[in-house]
Amino acid sequence: MKTTRIHRYLTLYFLLLAPLSFSQPIIPHKITFGNLKLNIKPDARKVIADNVKRLTRNEHYFQSIVKRADIFFPIVEEKFREVGTPEDIKYLCLQESELYAGQVQ
């Protein structure tokens, strides 16, 4: 199965919701993301789980992502609330740039 952007977004979504003990999160069959209700097919769940394993393999890299999220998510969340954007969309920012200030997509 081809990895799509939604797989990458969901990977980060589940990854950052997992406890920091690096236990592997359970990928559910259904979730609500933003204002969307998503059914996650078994092959997509496998892709997401594989991506989570890959991203957590290097603890230093993963912790650097978590630290940037801790810094920038409160700012993003406040701005999203001001304009009525669902807060779950903040994970798109993380996926697209890893929250590096000069990153351009």
pLDDT by residue for the chain (105 residues), tens digit each?
555 666 666 666 666 655 444 566 778 888 887 778 889 899 988 888 888 888 778 888 888 888 888 898 899 899 999 999 888 888 887 777 777 776 555
For residue 60, is it left (φ>0), alpha (ψ between -120 and 50) or beta?
alpha
Instruction: Say if CB 24 and CB 52 are below 8 A apart.
Output: yes
Report pLDDT for 92. Answer: 81
Residue reference for tokens 């097919």: 41
Report pLDDT for 87. Answer: 84
Report pLDDT for 35. Answer: 76
pTM over 0.95: no
Residue 88 DSSP code: G
Both structure tokens of 66? 């978590």
Report pLDDT for 83. Answer: 95
Report pLDDT for 20. Answer: 47
Half-sphere exposure for 100 (CA within 13 Å, toward CB)? 9
